[in-house]
Amino acid sequence: MNKPKEPCCGKWEGPEKMSLSKAAIPIKELSREEIKQEVKTRYDKFAEEGGSAEGCCPLARESTESFALEHGLYSQEDLALIPKLAINLSRGCGNPTSFANIQPGQVVADFGSGGGIDLVLAAHKVGPTGKVIGIDFAPHMIERAKQAMKEAGLSNRVEFILLDIENPQVPDNIADVVISNCVINLCPCKPCVYKQIYEILKPGGHLAISDIVAIGDVNPEILAYFQSIWSGCTGGAIPEDEYFKIVSEAGFSQLKVVARHTLGPKELDEMASCPGKKFSPVFSEEKLAQLQGKIVSTKFAAVKPKE
């Protein structure tokens, strides 16, 4: 079996202040733990206020549903199943349930489950004999997702775990499928996350991920600037080839890119402001313009080999 390599974490042996991209100059402002606390605070406060931030990631608009339809994130049929609360809190860059091949009776874990939009869809797919597990480290997000699942009539199909997805401490080999939607880019130790995903999956299980990455020739100083303030979903965006190397080194095989979408100017601004301008650091519009055409939402699947 292709066994996973030991990543940078659980035991953190790297420098306290670190560079998250091989191409980027070292980050000086934020340590790994400071980044995690900053992200947690932003999203927890956003959830506490019920998703009322103006202008954020692709679903956060007055015309939330029409935007989602326009960009193919969720169908009208999907949106009809989802409570408004979960839609308002959604900060995704795709719909991993649409290509996760979830089957009735399966166990599905959502890493960074947020307000529960993908949990609702996954719970419908697994049916009454299946189960979904929502893992998030923001307490108010968990509470909102519980409310959304209750409104959807699906509380009996879900378990919530309030933990950091870099080290969720859940049993090994319990999930058939792992999904995640625009969350892992926020994590300073991506190898840690993929180690945990590998461990929670059953042999032969698979992942379906939507996330934000960089492509092409990106000025390393620009990447370093956004990393230094960990700005929205651009702060943790690393080159796609580096990202996929992390996935492969965690032990996964059969990695397949399902789709890519290059962010337009407004989408890029929204992603850099996630979860909303009210909660995120002010950034240079001039520097953001230099990322235009170089930040993409990528959707991919991969398999944990059978033993």
Which pLDDT does position 29 carry in this prediction?
60
Of 282, 295, 290, 267, nearest to 55 by C-alpha is: 267
- Beta-carbon neighbour count of residue 188 at 10 Å? 26
Which residue blocks in 62-189 are alpha helix, DSSP H?
Answer: 64-70, 76-81, 84-89, 117-126, 139-151
Contact (CB, 8 A) for 291 and 222: yes
Of the listed ranges 157-161, 256-260, 271-275, the least confidently predicted one is 271-275
Of 262, 257, 207, 206, nearest to 237 by C-alpha is: 262
Contact (CB, 8 A) for 255 and 198: no
Mapping DSSP to helix (H, G, I), strand (E, B) and coil, where does residue 205 land?
strand
Which pLDDT does position 275 carry in this prediction?
77
- Is residue 122 over pLDDT 50? yes
134-158 residue pLDDT tens: 999 988 899 999 999 999 999 999 9
Q: Exposed e or buried b for every residue in 13-25, given b needs 16+ CB within 10 A?
A: eeeeebbbbebbe
Q: How far apart are CA 178 and CA 180, in angstroms?
A: 7
Using CA atoms, how far residue 264 sits from 65, 271, 295, in Å, is 18, 10, 9
Give me the phi and psi of 262, to 5 degrees please.
-75, 130
Q: Which residue has the higher pLDDT, 104 or 53?
A: 104
Whole-prediction pTM: 0.83
- Spell out the domain ranges in the chain: 32-303
Of 25, 33, 14, 4, nearest to 188 by C-alpha is: 33
Residues 6+ apart with CB under 8 A from 36: 137, 164, 166, 187, 188
Which pLDDT does position 19 carry in this prediction?
36
196-209 residue pLDDT tens: 999 999 999 999 99
Mapping DSSP to helix (H, G, I), strand (E, B) and coil, where does residue 198 land?
helix
Beta bridge partners of 110: 134, 179
Q: How far apart are CA 245 and CA 254, in angstroms?
A: 13
Of 106, 112, 151, nearest to 134 by C-alpha is: 112
Burial of 104 (0-12, 13-18, 19+ CB in 10 A): exposed
Which pLDDT does position 172 carry in this prediction?
93
- For the residues 277-305, what does the mean pLDDT come to? 87
What is Dmax (Cα atoms) for the chain? 52
- For the residues 87-96, what does the mean pLDDT come to? 85
- Cα 297–301–302 angle (5° rounding)? 135
Pick the CATH number of 32-303 from 3.40.50.150, 3.40.50.2300, 1.20.1290.10, 3.40.50.300: 3.40.50.150
Residues 6+ apart with CB under 8 A from 130: 104, 105, 106, 107, 108, 123, 157
